[in-house]
Amino acid sequence: MTKDKILKIVSIVLSVLMGLLFIYSGYTKLYPIEPFEFTFVDLGIGNWALAPYIARFMIGLEFYIGLMLIFNLYLKKFTLKLTAALLVVFTIYLGIMILNEGNNSNCGCFGNAIAMTPFQAIVKNIIMLAVCFVIYKFNEGITLGKLGKVLNVSFLLTALAMPHILNYVDLDYSQAYLNKPENNFTLELDTLYNNAYETTPPKTLSQGNHVLAFMSLSCQHCRIAAKKIRLIHEKNPDIHFYFILNGEKKK
């Protein structure tokens, strides 16, 4: 077997592996999808109503790129260029994330399945861009004529639809809770003042309007809610939020 054939086989294998990685990356963002949705609100790209659709479009785009890479379809003409462009956009976002928030958080590249810091994710993206260059150099890809065009459109439509099928946008969810009848009761706050581990809340909690969030530090849903509340507070600093946290001090 000649050197050129070996390099082509290697490039085909790399293309398939890259495609699988893109599909895995998109899938891990689906469960839970809320943190990924909040990203677009945080960036100011969309509001709370639009962010769920933007998030699913981006996940669908990852699925689409993954399918195109796995089938080595239109590699030089289109697929690798789109792949590289998306990786560059993600890398720029990660750089902004480091500048604004530091390098201690989970970048969300693989949802909650694999925790990566923004810097680790940037290194990953640089490696993937290098792999794109290798594939571009040694693999022409396939076109398949009219069949290739049919596959291309089929992959695109399937990929964009899958996030909505696997984790659809529940338009009635928030409205159902908003329409529940009020359940007024007296909230006893003595425990917060007498037995608080860290910070004793101000006495003014018993006066005026405040949002009190009772959360467990080991609860994934609480972490998602906390991120959403953080964004709400940043955009509405006049609203008073207080977290009552239950769990180990180290968390």
Among the residue ranges 55-59, 106-110, 117-121, 179-183, the one predicted with the least confidence is: 179-183
Whether 175 is in a domain gets the answer: no
Domain co-membership, 96 together with 155:
yes
Whether pLDDT at 162 is above 90: yes
In the prediction, which pLDDT does 71 show?
A: 95
Whether 172 is in a domain gets the answer: no
Domain co-membership, 130 together with 204:
no
Domain co-membership, 146 together with 85:
yes
In the prediction, which pLDDT does 12 show?
A: 93
Domain co-membership, 27 together with 51:
yes
In the prediction, which pLDDT does 251 show?
A: 64
pTM: 0.86
**Cis peptide, bond prior to residue 201, ω within 30 of zero:** no
Q: Which residues pair with 212 in a beta bridge?
A: 242
**Structural domain for 126, as ranges:** 3-166
Whether 251 is in a domain gets the answer: no
In the prediction, which pLDDT does 117 show?
A: 92
Cα–Cα distance measured from residue 192 to residue 81, given in angstroms and rounded to the nearest whole number: 56
Would strands 241-246 and 211-216 be described as parallel, antiparallel, or unpaired?
A: parallel
Whether pLDDT at 199 is above 80: no
Domain co-membership, 99 together with 220:
no
Contact by Cβ (8 Å): 71, 15: no
Whether pLDDT at 115 is above 80: yes
**Backbone phi and psi for residue 217, each to the nearest 5 degrees, phi listed first:** -70, -15
In the prediction, which pLDDT does 54 show?
A: 94
Domain co-membership, 155 together with 203:
no
- Domain count of the fold of the chain: 2
Can you read off the two tokens belonging to residue 149?
């065009």
Q: What is the pLDDT confidence band of residue 229, given thresholds at 50, 70 and 90? A: very high
Q: Which residues pair with 215 in a beta bridge?
A: 245
Contact by Cβ (8 Å): 116, 110: yes
Contact by Cβ (8 Å): 243, 215: yes
Whether pLDDT at 202 is above 80: no
Q: What is the pLDDT of residues 20-29, one digit of tens each?
A: 999 999 999 9
